[in-house]
Structure 1
Amino acid sequence: MTGGYPSPAQPSVPSGRVKPADQARQLISALTDLVRRGTQLLQLPEALRQSARQQTAMLADEQLFALLQQRPVADLKDLMSKGTRLGSLEAGGYRTVADVLRTHPGHLEQVPGVGSHTVQEVVAAARKLADQLRKESRVRLDPAAKPVGHTQLLATLTAARHADSAASALRGPIAQLGQQTQPLIPQAERVTSSWRMTFAGRKKKEEARAAVAQLQAILADPAVVALQYTVNSAEQATDPRNYRPEQLWQDYELDAAAFNALLSTVGGAGQVDDREAAEGFIGPELRQKISAEPLDTSLLNTTLREYQAFGAKYAIHQQRSILGDEMGLGKTVEALAVFAHMAAKGQHRFMVICPASVQINWMKEIERHTDLAAHLLHGRDRDINGSTWLSQGGVAVTTFGTVSSLDFLADADIAMLVVDEAHYVKNPDAKRSQAVAAVLTGAQRALFLTGTPMENRVDEFRNLVGYLQPRVAHAVTTADAIVGAKAFRRTVAPVYLRRNQEDVLTELPDKIEVEDWVQPTRQDEAAYRDAVQGRNLMRMRRAAFESADSAKLERICEIIEEAVADGRKAIVFSFFLDVLGTIHRALGELAMGPLTGSVSAPMRQQLVEDFTRRQGGAVLMAQIDAGGVGLNVQAASVVVIAEPQWKPSSEEQAIARAYRMGQIHTVQVHRVLAKDSVDERIREIQENKRLLFDEFARKSDAKESDARSTDAGMHRPAVLDDESVPKERRVILAEQHRLGLQ
Structure 2
Amino acid sequence: MTPSFTAAQARALCADAGLLLGDARALLGEHAEALRAVRRALADVRADLSRTELASIPVSRIKDVTGGRLRIGTLERSGYATVLQVLDATPYRLQLLPGIGAQTAAQVHAAARQIATAVEQAVGIRLDIEHQDRHGGELVIALHRLVNVGPELARALEAARTLDTRLDRLLQEARPARSRLRMLFAGGERRGQAQSALASLADLLGDARETRLLLAQATADLLRPAASEFEAWSDFEHRSAEYYGLLAEVAGEPVAADEGVLPDDLLAKVGAQDLDDTHRRVSLRGYQSFGARFALAQHRVILGDEMGLGKSVEAIAVLAHLKARGATHFLVVCPTSVLVNWVREIESRSTLAVHPLHGPGRDAAREEWVRRGGVAVATLDGLHRLPVTEVGLLVVDEAHYVKNPRTRRAEAVAAWCRRTERVLFLTGTPMENRVEEFRTLVAYLQPGLAAELRGSDVVAGAHAFRRAVAPVYLRRNQQDVLRELPGRVDVEEWVEFSGADLAAYRQAVAEGNFMAMRRAAYARPDTSAKLKRLLELVADAQANGLKVIVFSYFRDVLGVVRTALDGRAHGPISGALTPARRQQEVDAFSRARGHAVLLSQIQAGGVGLNLQAASVVIMCEPQVKPSMENQAVARAHRMGQVRTVQVHRLLSVDAVDQRMLDLLGAKAELFDAYARRSDLAESTADAVDISEQALARQIVEEEQRRLAL
TM-score of the pair, normalised by structure 1: 0.62
Q: How does 1:294-693 map to 2 (within 5 A)?
A: 294-406=274-386, 409-410=387-388, 412-454=389-431, 457-506=434-483, 508-510=484-486, 625-630=535-540, 675=579, 677=581, 680=584, 683-684=587-588, 687=591
Report the alpha carbon displacement of residue 279 of structure 1 after superposing the two structures with TM. 0.7
1:429-474 per-residue CA deviation (whole Å, 9 max, x = no partner) reads 3322211111222223111122224498332122221111111111
Question: What is the match of residue 564 of structure 1?
Answer: none
Distance, in Å, in 2 between the alignment partners of 1:269 and 1:210 is: 45
- List runs of 5+ in structure 1 lacking aligned partners: 1-19, 513-567, 572-580, 605-620, 632-637, 655-669, 690-742
Conserved in 2, the CA contact under 8 Å of 1:52 and 1:156? yes
Q: Note if 1:259 corresponds to 2:248.
A: no
C-alpha distance after superposition, 1:97-130 (max 9, x if no partner): 3221122334313212556797588657755764
Work out the CA distance in 2 between the residues paired with 1:433 and 1:200.
Answer: 74
Paired residue type of 1:687: R
The CA RMSD over aligned residues, in Å, is: 4.9
Once the two structures are TM-superposed, the CA of residue 35 in structure 1 deviates from its matched residue by 3.1
1:100 paired to 2:80: no
Asked if 2 retains the 8 angstrom alpha-carbon contact of 1:596 and 1:623, the reply is no
Offset from partner CA, 1:74-96 (integer Å, 9 cap, x none): 78799899999867535645454
Q: What code does the residue aligned with 1:309 have?
A: S
| CA deviation vs aligned residue, 1:150-206 (integer Å, no higher than 9, x gap) | 34333443444449733414635874897699668745x445335336678999999
Amino acid at match of 2:584: E
Indicate the SS of the match to 1:628. helix
Task: Look up the SS of the partner of 1:255 in the other structure.
Answer: helix
* CA deviations over 1:482-537 (Å, ceiling 9, x no partner): 3333332222111111112233243x52279xxxxxxxxxxxxxxxxxxxxxxxxx
Instruction: Name 1:110's counterpart in structure 2.
Output: 96
Aligned-residue offset at 1:319 = 0.6
Report the alpha carbon displacement of residue 286 of structure 1 after superposing the two structures with TM: 0.8
- 1:675 deviates by 4.6
- Which of 197, 203, 211 does residue 227 from structure 1 map onto? 211
2 CA distance for matches of 1:181 and 1:589? 78
The structural deviation recorded for 1:149 is 2.7
The separation in 2 between residues aligned to 1:416 and 1:212, in whole angstroms, is: 44
Give 1:30 deviation, angstroms: 3.2
Structure 1 684/495 Cα, relative in aligned 2: closer, same or farther at 3 Å? closer
Where does structure 2 lack aligned partners over 5 or more consecutive residues? 1-5, 494-503, 505-512, 542-547, 553-557, 594-709
Q: What pairs up with 1:230-245 in 2 under 5 angstroms?
A: 230-238=214-222, 242-245=226-229
Give, in whole Å, the separation in 2 of the partners of 1:176 and 1:88. 64
For residue 627 of structure 1, what is the amino acid of its counterpart?
Answer: L
Partner of 1:28: 14
Deviation, structure 1 residue 378: 2.2
The one-letter amino acid of 1:461's match is F
User: Structure 2: how far apart are the matches of 1:446 and 1:47?
Assistant: 42
**Structure 1 pair 587–485 and aligned structure 2 pair: CA distance change class (3 A):** farther
Equivalent residues, number: 548
> Which of 48, 55, 76 matches 1:62?
48
Change (3 A) 1:167 1:678: closer
Counterpart-to-counterpart distance in 1, 2:185 and 2:103: 85
Offset of residue 64 of structure 1: 1.6
Shift of residue 246, structure 1, vs aligned partner: 4.3
Q: Structure 1 residue 416: deviation in Å?
A: 0.7
1:311 Cα deviation (Å)?
0.7
Q: Secondary structure at the match of 1:509?
A: coil
- How far the C-alpha of 1:417 sits from its partner, in A, is 0.7
Give the 3 Å change call, closer, same or farther, for CA 357–87 of structure 1 in structure 2: same
Change beyond 3 A, Cα 1:81–1:176: closer
C-alpha contact 2:331 2:376 (8 A) present in aligned 1:
yes
Separation (CA, whole Å) in 2 of partners of 1:37 and 1:156: 22
CA distance in 2, matches of 1:141, 1:52: 13
So what's the TM-score if we normalise by structure 2?
Answer: 0.64
CA distance in 2, matches of 1:137, 1:674: 44
Larger deviation, residues 196-205 vs 474-483:
196-205
Distance (whole Å) between structure 2 residues aligned to residue 186 and residue 455 of structure 1: 67
How far, CA to CA, are the matches of 2:158 and 2:64 in structure 1? Answer: 56
**Counterpart residue number, 1:153:** 139
Q: Which letter does structure 2 place at the counterpart of 1:28?
A: C
Q: With CA pairs under 8 Å and 6+ residues apart, which has the higher RCO, 1 or 2? A: 2
Q: CA deviation at 1:42?
A: 6.0
Alpha-carbon spacing, 1:586–1:181, altered in 2? closer, same or farther (3 Å): farther
* Paired-residue identity, %: 36
Query: Alpha-carbon deviation of 1:346?
Result: 1.8
